[in-house]
Structure 1
Amino acid sequence: MKKPKIDINNLREIAWSIWDPLSLGRATSDWRQIEWLDEYDGYMLRAFGYLRNKGDEQRAVDYLCGIETSAMGLRATSEMKDGALETVKALHRYARELRSNRFD
């Protein structure tokens, strides 16, 4: 069965309104106005893939925390893990929504 198409704007909304580890979007109230709108797309797509394919929330959390520390050079904190977990839960809700819409 074919998987429903991902709407990148849904992933962007999660990235900019929940995750945003570099606080790039804090200067505006509307994430759609951010100059670097696609900055987090690759990270969100990969984390979403972990959830969509295997439902592996811990792997997705570890991935996002790894991006923050390795790729972005941020210091690991409990807030980082909490933010990654909140982001992954939102991504997982979206994955479930896509699955349920497949049968509409």
Structure 2
Amino acid sequence: MSDDLLSGLREIGWRNWDPIGLLAAGEQWQEKSFADEYDDYLRKVAADFRAGGSIAQAVEYLLRIEREHMVLGVRSGQERRAEATAQAIQLYVARSAHIEDMHDGYVPASDFLVRAANGEVPLTGTEFAEQNLRLLIGYMSDADTSNRDWATLLLAGLEIDTLAVREALLKATQDCDASVRAEALLGLAERDSVLALPLVLHELERSECGYGTFQAAHAIANPSLLSGLRKWSGKGSTPGINDEINDAIAACEAALANSK
């Protein structure tokens, strides 16, 4: 695993999990000598997802590590932290695989987007980055599908939630390409599940859905999605997609049970 990918896993682990509680509020893991404390566990979860593992399996593993291997027992909030960590790693693995596709030949036509995907173009933090962000959003309306796909993926994955970002993602949910729509739906679901819910409901009724659509449904976990999700059960193009559909169904069923 590259240093960049490991850094992303560490960010997830310290932000969402940290079962021992080593990192105090306001501290940065990058500055600590124990930054690698959870590497083996996070790598294992990521590897399992790459092999087609499910959210439920990842949650079970993280709970077992915390309760038995670390001998911390059953504590309040464990399930919530484990599920948040598993979901974040699953999404991270999926997006990392998309980036790795560039090395297998699927690259955007735009050199700017190639550099952005490789982390060579700043998109936040400076006036220059703001200009790059506007250029990125512009590519979401490009005539080339690969440019729209990559631009939407990159925007959806940024930790930015502005009116301009939401408007761009909303527009992309109407794209003619299912993958572009799926990336946009996932980006919206991560920012505002209420806004994304009717759009995901509509998307599930289409004849083609991208992987991100099922991830968005999983993130929203609203019982109203069950009917649309069940129509797709077992119809994914890969085992990993079918697992995500099943995970989304399970999350919606759990929300239904909890509402009674």
Q: Give TM-score scaled by structure 1 length.
A: 0.86
Residue 31 of structure 2 is matched in structure 1 by: 33
Q: Whole-Å Cα distance in 2 between the matches of residues 9 and 82 of structure 1?
A: 23
Structure 2 CA distance for partners of 1:93 and 1:36, relative to 1, 3 Å: same
For structure 1, the residue ranges without an aligned partner over 5 or more in a row are none
Residue 52 of structure 2 is matched in structure 1 by: 54
1:20-78 per-position Cα deviation (integer Å, ceiling 9, x unaligned): 00110126521101221111000000011111111411111100000001111112245
Q: For structure 1, which segment, 59-68 or 6-15, has the greater mean C-alpha deviation from structure 2 after superposition? A: 6-15
Which protein is bigger by CA-based radius of gyration? 2
Q: Whole-Å Cα distance in 1 between the matches of residues 86 and 58 of structure 2?
A: 7
**Alignment-mate amino acid for residue 13 of structure 2:** A
Q: For structure 1, which segment, 42-51 or 69-78, has the greater mean C-alpha deviation from structure 2 after superposition? A: 69-78
- Paired residues for 1:8-87 under 5 Å: 8-26=6-24, 29-77=27-75, 79-87=77-85
Runs of at least 4 residues of structure 1 off by over 2 A?
Answer: none
Coordinate RMSD, CA, aligned: 1.8
Q: Choose which of 78, 88, 97 in structure 1 pairs with 2:95.
A: 97
Residue 130 of structure 2 is matched in structure 1 by: none
**Alignment-mate amino acid for residue 57 of structure 2:** R
Q: For structure 1, which segment, 20-29 or 63-72, has the greater mean C-alpha deviation from structure 2 after superposition? A: 20-29
For structure 2, the residue ranges without an aligned partner over 5 or more in a row are 108-260
Q: Is the 1:12–1:41 Cα contact (8 Å) retained in structure 2?
A: yes
Aligned-pair identity (%): 31
Q: Is the 1:28–1:34 Cα contact (8 Å) retained in structure 2?
A: no
Q: Give TM-score scaled by structure 2 length.
A: 0.37
* Alignment: residue pair count: 101
Q: For structure 1, which segment, 34-43 or 71-80, has the greater mean C-alpha deviation from structure 2 after superposition? A: 71-80
Q: Whole-Å Cα distance in 1 between the matches of residues 45 and 24 of structure 2?
A: 22
Q: Whole-Å Cα distance in 1 between the matches of residues 55 and 72 of structure 2?
A: 21
Q: Whole-Å Cα distance in 1 between the matches of residues 13 and 33 of structure 2?
A: 14
- Indicate the SS of the match to 2:84: helix
Structure number with higher relative contact order (C-alpha < 8 Å, ≥ 6 residues apart)? 1
